Structure 1
Amino acid sequence: MEIINIIPHKRFEDKVILQMDNYENYTISLEAVYKYNLKKGKEIHQEEFDKIIIDENYRAAKTKGLKYIERGDKTFAQVCEYLEKKEYSSQVIEKVMEFLVDYDFVNDERYAERYIKERRRTEGKNKIKYALKKKGINEDIISEKLININEDEELEAINKLVNKKIHTLIKDGKDEYFIKNKLYSYIISKGFCGDNVLKSIKQSIMENRDLIYEHQRNNQEKDKENIMEVASKRYSLISKSETNNLKLKKKLYDFLLRKGYSYDDVKSAVNEIISNE
């Protein structure tokens, strides 16, 4: 192979374009030009040239890998995936990863430890395990690191989440059964499971039972006021065109039920409105 021409790159000052006699163009660094004494008219064997290109790709891939890690700690699999998307060969990626591991830039055990430490107070083992597996961490490493979370620590984390969430649910004026189910779904979604979840929810419900019933009663009173207002307005509208009391009553029933009110509340409201007319 012969180098026909060496042209400065239009976008990158530290790169040039090699034009070869086989009509192929290659982008390489100025550093490589000086290092391998590349110049116009020079003959170079294909094997030697392939080695230069591999070394160039390795240097570029290593730089990209290091910059990617600078943004935040990454797992072995994440860096590999990033370099694959940059379309580096498996040979180059393997060489880069060997460098990153040897110099401790990439360490899956350290990554798992940090990740667990940051999330152990807000996420359960199941969610943490799923997230780490998704990031490419070996399951043996995950299991080994998760052992460090003891039962008391897990219960404390669950209690904090439950006690914070229950007050939001209580304000909605829902009943105890509804709150219990919502709490369970919420804590499970955080990756916690087992007896500690049920134990924590039961304890929190007991401690807040009076408050739950108070908000529930207030909510029921508001609902009653609301349904009476809605029913009265609808009755006034329907009665303008419907004189048959049975049909009027049915239309009012159907309208309120479609609005989502309970049958008992609808029955009470309709009877009160009709009896006042």
Structure 2
Amino acid sequence: MNNKITKIEIQKRKKNRVNVFINEEFSFACSSDLVFMFGLKTGNEFDAESLKKIIEEDNYISCKNYALNVIDRSYKTEKEMHEKLVKKEYNEKVIERVFLFLKEYGFVDDDKYIDLYIGDRIKKNGKIKIKYDLLKKGVDIKLIDKKLNEVSTILEKTAIDILAKKKYESIVKTESNYSKIYTKLKSYLFRAGYNGELVNEILKTILKDKKESEENEEFNDEKNIMDLEKLKVSAEKRYDIIIKRESDETKIYKKLWEYLMRRGFANDQIKKQIREVMGKN
């Protein structure tokens, strides 16, 4: 029995595709472009091999259009593109042919992809994270290392400096302790993919003033404690001497106050300490 096209009709929902009927029965659907490419028309007779070629060509056009739509939304690595086409259940023969087209016109190019990816991510990620993310996308490790080695050290240092300062300003809004600020900022920069040497260098620069300020505060606190202890001892000893010769509280207070002022203690501290000493007796 001869295979004869008995009807070709345009699909209602997809005007760029047609349904082909052979011997009064639906046989296959294909792109309308193939109608002209293969000269399909009612009454034509053809063998199984010709039908196979039409179906293969239709699969190729479908696969190519899908790939171009994917790229139109976002650029992909070769591995990512291959996985998407396999997931759509295109066979390997068709995928290989589509890849030849994509590579010929530069629609998939891992070398170009890495350049674009690094250019975008280097502003907020270190080389370690960038390398890890590219490996997950299936890019060859040698190509990744080659491209990352070409990245300027100055560019990476400038990026981490801006990133670290911005994060520091955010952390200090809710945290004042130096150790906690240091830990949070260091963890953040490590998660961003920067190496330990670079992280330690930027932390030393950004937290220098904060560390010195906190150390000064701790020193002053310790000094104040020592001064207060010294004031307490001096006040008690002098008070014991004064009361042996003086019983009037007003005169005792005045003499003790004058003595402690000459010793260089602060007025408000002296008054508080005198009240404590005289209050015990």
TM-score by length of 2: 0.68
Aligned in 2, Cα 1:79/1:184: closer, same or farther, shift over 3 Å?
same
Aligned to 1:133, which of 132, 135, 147? 135
SS at match of 1:100: helix
Deviations 1:107-133 (A, max 9, x none): 110110111112213210111112212
Aligned to 1:66: 68
Which of 176, 179, 183 is the equivalent residue of 2:178?
176
Letter in 1 for 2:123: R
Residues 1-277 of structure 1: pairs in structure 2 closer than 5 A: 1-20=3-22, 25-209=27-211
Alpha-carbon displacement from aligned partner over 1:39-87 (angstroms, at most 9, x marks no partner): 3453322222111111111122222222322233322222222322332
Matched AA of 1:184: K
CA distance in 1, matches of 2:24, 2:6: 9
- Is the contact made by 2:175 and 2:181 (CA closer than 8 Å) also made in structure 1? no
Secondary structure of the residue that 1:19 maps to in structure 2?
A: strand
TM-score (norm 1): 0.69
Q: What is the count of residue pairs matched by the alignment?
A: 216
The 3-state SS of whatever aligns with 1:12 is coil
The residue type paired with residue 157 of structure 1 is: A
2 and 155 in structure 1: CA distance in 2 versus 1, 3 angstrom threshold: same
Q: Secondary structure at the match of 1:6?
A: strand
Q: 1 CA distance for matches of 2:43 and 2:147?
A: 59
Q: Tell me the SS of whatever aligns to 1:171.
A: coil
Q: Is the 8 A contact 1:175 1:213 kept in 2?
A: no
State the SS of the aligned residue for 1:10: coil
Change over 3 Å in CA distance of 1:131–1:22 after alignment to 2: farther
8 Å Cα contact 1:173-1:215 kept in structure 2 = no
Deviates more, 1:177-186 or 1:67-76: 67-76
The 3-state SS of whatever aligns with 2:81 is: helix
Q: What is the CA distance between 1:4 and its match in structure 2?
A: 4.5
- Structure 1 residues 48 and 184, CA, compared in 2 at 3 Å: closer, same or farther? same
- In the alignment, the residues of structure 1 paired with residue 118 and residue 201 of structure 2 have an alpha-carbon distance, to the nearest angstrom, of 24
Matched residues, percent identical? 33
> Residues of 2 paired with 1:32 and 1:154: CA distance?
52
Which piece of structure 1 moves more, 106-115 or 29-38?
29-38
Unaligned runs of 5+ residues in structure 2 are: 219-281
Question: Partner residue of 1:256?
Answer: none
Question: What RMSD in Å do the two structures reach over aligned CA positions?
Answer: 2.6
Q: CA deviation at 1:27?
A: 1.0
Q: Counterpart amino acid of 1:10?
A: K
Q: Which of structures 1 and 2 has the bigger CA Rg?
A: 2
In the TM superposition, what whole-angstrom CA distance separates every residue of 1:193-233 from its partner, at most 9, and x where no partner exists? 121111211222212236668999xxxxxxxxxxxxxxxxx
